[in-house]
Structure 1
Amino acid sequence: MSRLLPGVIAMAAIVVASNILVQFLFGQWLTWGAFTYPLAFLVTDVMNRIYGPSTARKVVFAGFVTGVICSLIGTQIQGEFGPLVTWRIAIGSGLAFLTAQLLDVAIFDRLREGTWWRAPLASSLVGSAVDTALFFTIAFAGFLTFVEPGNDVSWAGEVLPLLGQGPDAPLWVSLAVADWGVKLALALIALVPFRLIVGRMTARVA
């Protein structure tokens, strides 16, 4: 239990912070939560490297439960345009987190014997792509309106130039691409703290 605690606390803190910061816009295409959420992959990868996939999965499930609690609370808080968290967002967030993080654990474990940076980078890149695709599709795609008929997400389907410059695409696609871009950048940046944290924790375990 003692080896689980740091990972569980870090994961829970990231999930809670991201759920709060997602309410605040950063520019036209992002929220502040986009910069904290990808750190969940760093926590998962560190726990996987030090303690193995079983412990990493337990940390993931702790993060999932925390996210579910945050989403349930959000559905009960009324904002200017309705609940802070709609059921589509809650479902998308939960499924995306659990699927992407468990995929991250599996890929990392498969590549753990290779060069030190290959496992965390590959697992984070694939996990991030799956996370982004699942969340934005479930939460905002027009063909899934039946999931929550009372939730009007027509605004997300407005056709605009991709990120304001590219070919025409629904707004939610631009939001997804911007979010994915941040995740990719942070996956690369996170290799530095991954290396440092793993080095220190390995020394302590030894």
Structure 2
Amino acid sequence: MSRGLILGVIAMAAVVVASNILVQFLFGNWLTWGAFTYPLAFLVTDLTNRVYGVKAARKVVLAGFAVGILCSFIGTQIIGEFGPLVTLRIAIASGTAFLIAQLVDVFIFNRLRDGAWWRAPLASTLIGSSLDTALFFTIAFAGSLTFIEPANDVSWAGEVLPLLGVGPLAPLWVSLGVADWFVKLSLAVIALIPFRYLAVTLSGKKANI
């Protein structure tokens, strides 16, 4: 395993572990602290793809997926105030969203890698992040998918409230998803700065930001 790939795996593992811990802590009414660390997974994937290639990026994604499964398993063994910190449904939603969204990100980045330097990371992250949010919140909380884990009561997430407290009426889980999506979109743009700097640095080229 090359040094670059090892660094990518370590960085991805750190993001996944940190996000699994920070998701337990609320930030305001609609977010958790994990919402601000998880999008860094796309930065790690895109940097690996740019500097070390698509095959290395896929390996980093699979490593992150494995770490995520381990974190979910550990979470199912820790009992909090309302039961296990991680339910089966949350674990399935998290793993499915991560793997599909990250692999789509890798695919799109690779297709756009020869264009302007910002196009591949921006497009792949925006599409991957949107897919990640849609998959996770739908699988984890949509009432139509209660068959995944019938014993897990997520009816609280279906409470109908104004969207983000000010918009049209929608299930609570939709507001949570929209807030998460806004954070991901914002960080996708902000992450272009460290992406550009780290990409040229790791490639051994002079930065031109």
Q: TM over 0.5: same fold?
A: yes
- The secondary structure found in structure 2 opposite 1:149 is coil
Rounded Cα–Cα distance in structure 2 between residues aligned with 1:101 and 1:167: 31
Rounded Cα–Cα distance in structure 2 between residues aligned with 1:86 and 1:167: 30
Rounded Cα–Cα distance in structure 1 between residues aligned with 2:41 and 2:63: 11
Is the aligned partner of 1:43 residue 2:44? yes
Cα offsets for 1:11-35 (capped at 9, x unmatched): 0000000000000000000000000
Unpaired stretches in structure 1, ≥5 consecutive residues: none
Equivalence for 1:151: 152
Cα offsets for 1:91-120 (capped at 9, x unmatched): 000000000000000000000010000000
Equivalence for 1:15: 16
Is the aligned partner of 1:185 residue 2:172? no
- The secondary structure found in structure 1 opposite 2:114 is coil
* TM-score, scaled relative to structure 1: 0.98
Equivalence for 2:203: 202
Is the aligned partner of 1:77 residue 2:78? yes
| Root mean square deviation of aligned Cα | 0.6
Q: Displacement, 1:3?
A: 2.1
Equivalence for 1:26: 27
Equivalence for 1:96: 97
- The secondary structure found in structure 2 opposite 1:160 is strand
Amino acid corresponding to residue 83 of structure 2 in structure 1: G
Equivalence for 1:66: 67
Rounded Cα–Cα distance in structure 1 between residues aligned with 2:6 and 2:52: 12
How many residues are treated as equivalent by the alignment? Answer: 204
Report sequence identity in percent. 75
Rounded Cα–Cα distance in structure 2 between residues aligned with 1:131 and 1:150: 25
Rounded Cα–Cα distance in structure 2 between residues aligned with 1:78 and 1:64: 23
Match runs of 1:107-122 below 5 Å: 107-122=108-123
Rounded Cα–Cα distance in structure 1 between residues aligned with 2:22 and 2:4: 28
Amino acid corresponding to residue 116 of structure 1 in structure 2: W
Amino acid corresponding to residue 33 of structure 2 in structure 1: W
